[in-house]
Amino acid sequence: MAKSKSAYFCQSCGHETSKWMGQCPSCKQWNTLVEEVVEKASSRVPEWRSTAATPSKRTNKAAVIHEIVYTEEHRLETPDAEFNRVLGGGIVPGSLVLIGGEPGIGKSTLMLQLALSIPKIRTLYISGEESEQQIKMRAERLQQSSNANCFILTETSTQNIFKQIEVVAPNLIVIDSIQTLHSSQIESAPGSVSQVRECTAELLRFAKETNTPVFIVGHITKDGSIAGPKVLEHMVDTVLQFEGDRNHVYRILRAVKNRFGSASELGIYEMQGAGLREVSNPSEIMISQRDAPVSGVAISAMLEGMRPMMIEVQALVSNSAFGTPQRSSTGYDTKRLNMLLAVLEKRFGFRLSAQDVFLNIAGGLRVEDPAIDLAVVIAIISSQQDMPVKTSIAFAGEIGLSGEIRAVNRIEQRIAEAEKLGFDGIFISKFNTKGLDAKKYGIAIRPVATLEDIFRSLFG
C-alpha cells in the first residue's frame, strides 16, 4: 500500500519543511510547524481541477513582444462605483480576488451585495459559514432578494462545489470563506495551510481556464495578516482589505495588491441597517458640523490612496492628574504623536510633559498620510492654549524634527479639494510652492516654512 505523504507547514508564514523543527527557518516563529498530510495514500484523481492533474497539454511558444496582439479586456462594471474604482475599473474576467478583513467587519455583506447587484449575469454565492436561511435573511435585509440570477450554495467540499458550478454555470463566483473549504485531495483539516493552498489553487485554475471571476473571502489573524499563509496573497491577482472600526459605521475597502490596477485605491462605505452604502463624498462626513469654532480642532487636507479628503483632527490637552501623563491616540500613530510632542516641547517651549494629550481622528479612520502632522500639531496647541482655529482653514504639511514644515505630495489635489469644499484658506509648506500657480485657485494659499510662522499667524 502506498504511504501517504506529509509535510510540516508553518502556520504563520506557510513555509514547508520535511522535518519538524522548533523554530520556523523562514519567519523565525517558535512552535508554528504543524504536520499536515499533503497527499492521500490512494491514487489521485486526474481531474483538471486538481493542482496535481496531468501537465497542461497546451504548449506555449515564445513570441516576440511586438508580435503579441493585445486587446483591452472587457471589464465587468458593477453598480457599486467604489468597488469598481478599488478594482481598477471593474471586474476583470478570470481574475481571482481575495477579500480580507476582521470578523464582523462586513465581508459577507459586501460580497452578497455584489452577487445580488448584477442581475444581468448569473452569480453564485457559496457559503461555508451560514445556512441558506441565514443568507436569505441577510438578502431580505439588503432589500435585494428578488434577483432571479443569483444562486446560493452552502457547501464546503471543493469537489461538490465544482459539480454545482457545472450545473449552474455562473459568470461570477463568491466563496465565503476560503478557511471553511476543503479539498478531498488533501487530508488535513479545513483552514490549515495546505488545505487553504490547495483550495485556492483549484479555484485559481478554474478561474483562469473558464475566464470566470472568483472572489474569495479570507479571515484575518490577530496580527492583521490574512490567515493561511502569505502564499495565498501571491497566488491571487488582487488582494483587497476591508477595514474599519467596528464601533463606527464607516468601512474602507483598500487594494493591497492589484495586478490589474493601482494598489493605492480605496473605497469608503457606510454600514447601515440595510447594508453597505457607498460614500462618494467622504469629506462631508469626516467633518463635524458646528456653529461656533471650538478649540482643539483642525482640519487636514489629506490623501487616502489617490483620493483627497478633508478630515477633522481633534485634540484634548489637560493637566495630568497623575504623575505620568497619558498619551493616547485613535487613528494616528502614537509614536509619531510622541515625536511631535517632543518637537513642541524642545523647540518651542510648550510645557506638554506634565499634561495628558488625547488625539482623535474623526470618523474612525486610520491615517498614515504624513501630511496630517500639521493639523495634529495645530489641534494640540489650539487645545492647550484654548484658542479655536477657524474651521474654514485647512492644513497640509509634514513636520520635521526641527519644527520645519516639509513638502507633501500631490499638493494641487489637496488644494483643489479644499477649494471645492468651500474653505477660505489652506496652510501648506513653503517648499511646496515651487511651480504652483496660486492664482489658479479661489482659495488663499498660505505658505509657511516653520511651525513658528504658523503659530504666529494663527495664535498671535
Residues lying near Mg ion in the complex (CB under 5 A): 108
* Of residues 129 and 412, the one with the C-beta less far from ligand TYD: 129
Should residue 137 be labelled a site residue for ligand TYD when binding is judged by CB under 6 A?
no
222 labeled binding residue:
no
Residue 271 binds which entry of ligand TYD, Mg ion, none, CB below 5-8 Å type-dependent: ligand TYD
349 labeled binding residue:
no
Rule CB under 6 A: choose which of 90, 101, 190, 229 binds ligand TYD: 101
Residues in the chain, how many? 460
145 labeled binding residue:
no
Q: Which three cell numbers stand for residue 275?
A: 447594508
Should residue 271 be labelled a site residue for ligand TYD when binding is judged by CB under 6 A?
yes
Q: How far apart are CA 78 and CA 114, in angstroms?
A: 8
Q: How far apart are CA 315 and CA 269, in angstroms?
A: 26
Burial class from Cβ neighbours inside 10 Å (0-12, 13-18, 19+) for residue 70 reads exposed
CA geometry: angle 131, 134, 139, nearest 5 deg? 125
Q: Quick check: bond before 429 cis, omega within 30? A: no
What is the nearest approach in angstroms of ligand TYD to the Cβ of residue 271?
5
HEC per residue, 97-164 = EEEEECCCCCHHHHHHHHHHHCCCCCEEEEECCCCHHHHHHHHHHCCCCCCCCEEEEECCEHHHHHHH
Residue nearest to ligand TYD (CB): 108
Report 380-439 residues binding ligand TYD (CB under 6 A): none
Note whether 188 and 68 are within 8 A (CB). Answer: no
108 labeled binding residue:
yes
Rule CB under 6 A: choose which of 22, 46, 55, 104 binds ligand TYD: 104
Q: For the sheet containing 33-39, what is the strand order?
A: 16-17, 5-10, 33-39
Should residue 251 be labelled a site residue for ligand TYD when binding is judged by CB under 6 A?
no
Which single residue is written with the C-alpha cell 453598480?
Answer: 79
Q: How far apart are CA 387 and CA 294, in angstroms?
A: 8
Should residue 273 be labelled a site residue for ligand TYD when binding is judged by CB under 6 A?
yes
Rule CB under 6 A: choose which of 40, 141, 248, 277 binds ligand TYD: 141
What is the nearest approach in angstroms of ligand TYD to the Cβ of residue 228?
16
106 labeled binding residue:
yes
* Of residues 139 and 297, the one with the C-beta less far from ligand TYD: 139
Among 96-104, 254-262, 424-432, 443-451, which window interacts with ligand TYD (CB under 6 A)? 96-104
What is the nearest approach in angstroms of Mg ion to the Cβ of residue 99?
10
User: In 3D, which of 350, 341, 80, 76 has the Cα closest to residue 214?
Assistant: 76
What is the nearest approach in angstroms of ligand TYD to the Cβ of residue 274?
5
Which single residue is written with the C-alpha cell 496573497?
Answer: 233
* Of residues 139 and 310, the one with the C-beta less far from Mg ion: 139
Which positions make up the binding site? 101-108
Which positions make up the binding site for ATP? 101-108
Binding positions for ligand TYD, rule: CB under 6 A: 101, 103-109, 138, 141-142, 271, 273-275
